[in-house]
């Protein structure tokens, strides 16, 4: 059962900010240490960024390094660590082998017993050419998911997303309408796009849905030469940033009060006011219009 917003107690979140390189074993060592710091700081829910296990530009290097989920040593270590520490450990994403020629960008929510409680494969692929010359083609290396995923935590319902999903508000609306009180957005935003849009998009998703946003991020210049924005953050349901990091690896802590979800939604109950609609497009003749069915 989902804990009703406002009925459950507060809890402490620990967001892990890291700077993944090309070697999964080295990345694992760093993240395990930071997760321990998060637990020592009182966190009962710990989230790591997108691409926790590897950050590599080469498709060939990626496919040579990753293995299927059931054989992934990082996941096995994280499951044991969650059990040992007694925390909900949300691994923002791992690159795992999905097919012979594609990986999955997969998020894992691990419960305090060390069991994988939920999985989410990133739906939206980051295929862009940036003004500074950087080019990204996630769809060449990753198989996209097609399922939105929620899971009930002791404090409320969690909606799971990853990075570029942040730019698709309909996904978050669907999660909010399905009862999410918390939106997880583990990320590896580029420095360029992060400087322009990271804060406003996270705040917007919180405001639109009356949800907490919890977004652990990669930060700094990586081994492969690319830069990520960092600034792991928590935004409350009114859109206020209540905790934020910089660009260096570390842990960002925040106190989460589920009662704030109910409070924000009572002030602006927009989740209750959504209506189906049609989009009217012009035909070649400007005096005639035709109706096109809008999103369900």
**Could you confirm whether 163 is annotated as catalytic?**
yes
Q: Helices 191-209 & 169-177, crossing angle to 10 degrees? A: 30
User: Would you say 20 and 230 are in contact if contact means Cβ atoms under 8 Å apart?
Assistant: no
For residues 5 and 257, what is the distance between their CA atoms, to the nearest angstrom?
9
Quick one: DSSP state of residue 124? S
Catalytic-role residue among 97, 122, 211, 244: 122
211 is catalytic: no
Q: Regarding beta strands 103-110 and 219-221, do their DSSP bridges make them parallel or antiparallel, or are they unpaired?
A: unpaired
| Cα–Cα distance for residue pair 26/263, rounded to 1 Å | 43
SS3 state at 22? coil
Angstrom distance (rounded) from CA 117 to CA 130: 36
For 282, the token pair is 């012009």
Separation between Cα atoms, residue 23 and residue 254, nearest integer Å: 30
Q: From the candidates 39, 97, 163, 211, give the one annotated as an active-site residue.
A: 163
User: Which one is catalytic: 50, 227, 244, 260?
Assistant: 50
The answer to whether the CB of 128 falls within 8 A of the CB of 87 is no
What's the length of the chain? Answer: 296
- Please return the burial class of 59, using the count of CB atoms within 10 Å of its CB with bins 0-12, 13-18 and 19+: middle
69: helix, strand or coil: helix
> How far, in Å, are 96, 97, 176 from residue 66 at the CA level?
5, 6, 33
Residues that are catalytic: 50, 122, 163
């Amino acid at each position: 059962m989902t804990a009703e917003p406002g009925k459950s107690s507060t809890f402490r979140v620990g967001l892990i900010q890291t700077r993944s390189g090309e070697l999964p074993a080295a990345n694992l060592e760093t993240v395990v240490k930071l997760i321990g710091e998060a637990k020592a700081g009182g966190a009962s829910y710990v989230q790591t960024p997108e691409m926790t296990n590897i950050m590599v530009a080469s498709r060939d290097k990626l496919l040579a390094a990753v293995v299927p989920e059931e054989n992934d040593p990082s996941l096995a270590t994280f499951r044991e660590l969650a059990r040992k520490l007694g925390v909900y450990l949300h691994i923002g994403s791992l690159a795992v082998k999905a097919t012979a020629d594609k990986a999955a960008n997969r998020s894992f929510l691990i419960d305090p017993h060390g069991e994988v409680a939920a999985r989410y494969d990133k739906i939206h692929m980051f295929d862009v050419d940036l003004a500074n010359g950087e080019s990204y083609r996630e769809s060449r290396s990753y198989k996209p998911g097609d399922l939105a995923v929620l899971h009930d935590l002791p404090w409320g319902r969690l909606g799971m997303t990853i990075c570029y999903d942040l730019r698709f508000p309909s996904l978050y609306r669907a999660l909010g309408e399905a009862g999410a009180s918390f939106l997880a957005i583990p990320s590896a935003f580029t420095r360029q796009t992060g400087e322009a849009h990271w804060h406003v998009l996270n705040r917007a998703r919180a405001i639109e849905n009356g949800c907490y946003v919890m977004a652990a991020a990669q930060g700094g210049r990586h081994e492969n030469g690319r830069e990520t924005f960092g600034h792991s953050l928590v935004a409350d349901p009114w859109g206020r940033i209540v905790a934020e990091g910089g660009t260096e690896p570390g842990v960002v802590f925040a106190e989460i009060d589920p009662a704030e979800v109910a409070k924000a939604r009572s002030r602006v109950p927009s989740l209750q006011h959504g209506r189906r609609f049609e989009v009217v497009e012009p035909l070649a003749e400007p005096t005639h219009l035709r109706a096109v069915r809008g999103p369900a």
